[in-house]
Chains A and B, each alone.
Chain A
Amino acid sequence: MEVKSIGSFKELSKIFKIKEMGAIIGFVVIFIVFSILSPEFISWGNLLSTFTMAAELGIVAIGITMLMISGEFDLSVGSTFAVVPMVLALSINNKINPFLGFIFGIFLGAFIGYLNGIVTLKTEIPSFITTLGSMMFLRGILLAITGGFPIMLQEDIPFLKYFGGVCIGGLRYSGIWFIILAIIFAFILERTKFGNWTFATGGNLLASKALGINTNKVKLMNFIICSFMAGLAGITTFARFKIIDPTLGQGMELEAIASAVIGGTFLSGGYGSIIGTFLGAFMIGMVRSGLVLAGAPAYWYRAFIGIVLIIAAIINTKIRKKTAG
């Protein structure tokens, strides 16, 4: 009897060692709290629309998670999130083939990441600074080109449906993308060489170099992935609203980083999880819609996220002392 209970205790502590445990606990707590505050919260309609909102943020957060694990940062994702669909919108409104505009936008997104990476790695300036610069630069360009006015899509473009349109019920295609991308990147991170090198590069740069890993290439790839994902997420938002405000995505970088940190990713690199980030982004979406349904003024949203972030970080620190030191 006693032996059995020790055994099950071991099993239990094994479960608590899962990287994503902090995110799972937080997720359940927030879910329960808002379900109690407002019964409508657990309706399918609300959960699906919450998930859609989470998806647009979450796609950005997946990219930033990869980059953060490799030991770098990107503050420019919010600007990229607006620049890429802006390029698409301007192409369409100027009668350029929309598909070409799409390809060009996505390519531009990846190219922003390439530039962020090259500048950071060649000059050895911290990426916090280089991407702060590109964040301001891109936003400035955006405001200058649009004169600060929103741009409206003048044509109906059928293929955009597959980015931001409704799939079934309240579920939009962005949600599907979010799930697919999360699965793909979880596999890349945990089960490929590139993922292994991403962990190693962020965890111990010099050791990785000494073992022959091309750490600059690994980081550069992750810069590109991060901006690519931000651009793609921007397109899903644009496809939903058919209009772009030049301030779109402002502050998003911090929410994306918060999603990753809530999900267990280290700010210092070398540790993290895509599934955790998935839950982290979903959690932020739940807080947003939950507060609205509970009748709280919109201002409370930021304050609440701040608290969630700190509590999650505390839980994660405790867990990682058991799993990773």
Chain B
Amino acid sequence: MNNNLVEMKNIKKNFGKVQALRGVDFNIGRREIVGLLGDNGAGKSTLIKILVGYEKADEGEIYFEGKKVFFNSPKEAREMGIETVYQDLALVNLLPIWRNFFLGRELVKGAFLSIDEMKKITYEYLKEIGIFIRSPEETVFFLSGGERQAIAIARAMYFGAKLLILDEPTAALSVGETKKVLEHVMRVKEKGVSVIFITHNIYHVYEVADRLVILEKGVKVGDFKKEDVTPQEIMGMIARAAGVIV
């Protein structure tokens, strides 16, 4: 049991009258990629926001590496090695790549930023893991959606994440870019990191996932090893839970 990296137990969360989570158990093993699926409003984002301390659960417990934890803010979770890449919240578009890469964890010498060092590390680390950029000084605004996701993932890896949470990383991407992001996710796993991959689209995550968890209206309605289930079955389950007859 303590082989799991994260265990969330009986998590409940209400927003006023909305029961966003109604007692969800959710585990992530070590070096495991878990696809977290469900229709709009199922509670996926809320579940991970509770995990990283962005929201507080009304009830329930969280264990990280076997120890009971309680994060007051995403910063605390980050310090423990839990990195989150939000779809639109990952990067500051008006800033250059290097400033984004080190944002919140800047390298300094005395009071001043070590600008050249940060530029160099950004460029070289991205190159090392197969992300090619023209220059670390390039403004993020000019990058494609896939490049932005890749940089946010790379940043999490560089800072030693043990768990990487990706909230709909492929939602706005072309087929080619999605493929690239999936390659990065696989590489993250090779480095020994666990991944939670949130998506609507089973086909985006099926290829890379070890396990698939389905939420519906705040309840966990499925938890499968990939070998035990086909993408079509998952699709059917999401649709049925949402009240669509298939």
Contact = CB atoms under 8 A, between A and B. Distances in A.
B158 interface: no
Contacts of A212: 73-75, 78, 104
Contact of A204 (B75, B78, B92): B92
Contacts of A208: 92, 103-104
A199 B94 contact: yes
A192 B113 CA distance: 5
Contact of A207 (B73, B78, B90, B106): B90
Contacts of B142: 325
A210 B106 contact: no
Nearest to A193: B106
A210 B94 contact: no
Given A203-B95, A210-B54, A323-B139, A196 B89 contact: no
Given A196-B99, A209-B74, A212-B75, A204 B112 contact: no
Contacts of A125: none
A270 B103 CA distance: 14
A6 interface: no
A189 to B, nearest CB: 11
A191 B95 CA distance: 14
Given A323-B139, A325-B139, A204 B73 contact: no
Contacts of A271: 94
**Secondary structure dominating the interface of A:** helix
Contacts of B202: none
A303 interface: no
B113 A200 contact: no
A202 to B, nearest CB: 8
Interface in B48-103: 54, 73-75, 78, 84, 86, 88-95, 99, 103
**Secondary structure dominating the interface of B:** loop
B115 interface: yes
B92 A191 contact: no
Most A CB atoms within 10 A — which of B84, B95, B106? Answer: B95
A206 B108 CA distance: 24
A270 B94 contact: yes
B132 interface: no
B112 A199 contact: no
Given A209-B74, A212-B104, A192 B112 contact: yes
B121 to A, nearest CB: 15
Interface residues of B, number: 27
A307 interface: no
Contact of A270 (B92, B106, B115): B92
Contact of B93 (A187, A192, A203): A203
B141 interface: yes
A213 interface: yes
B111 interface: yes
Contacts of A199: 92, 94-95, 99
A168 interface: no
A204 B91 contact: yes
Contacts of A192: 108, 111-113
Contacts of B86: 206-207, 210
B106 to A, nearest CB: 5
B119 to A, nearest CB: 13
Interface string B121-155: 00000000000000000010110000000000000
A205 B155 CA distance: 19
A12 interface: no
Nearest to A204: B92
Contact of A213 (B88, B99, B104, B112): B104
Contacts of B112: 187, 191-192
Most B CB atoms within 10 A — which of A193, A206, A209? Answer: A193
Interface in A158-214: 187, 191-193, 196-197, 199-200, 203-204, 206-213
Nearest to B155: A211
Contacts of A211: 74, 78, 103-104
Contacts of B90: 207, 210
B76 to A, nearest CB: 8
A204 to B, nearest CB: 4
Given A212-B74, A325-B139, A204 B89 contact: yes
Contacts of A28: none
A193 B54 CA distance: 23
A324 interface: yes
B113 A191 contact: yes
The 5 closest A-B pairs by CB, nearest first: A212-B75, A325-B141, A211-B104, A203-B92, A203-B94
Interface of B: 54, 73-75, 78, 84, 86, 88-95, 99, 103-104, 106, 108, 111-113, 115, 139, 141-142
11 contacts: A191-B115, A192-B108, A193-B108, A199-B94, A199-B95, A206-B86, A211-B74, A211-B78, A213-B103, A270-B92, A270-B94
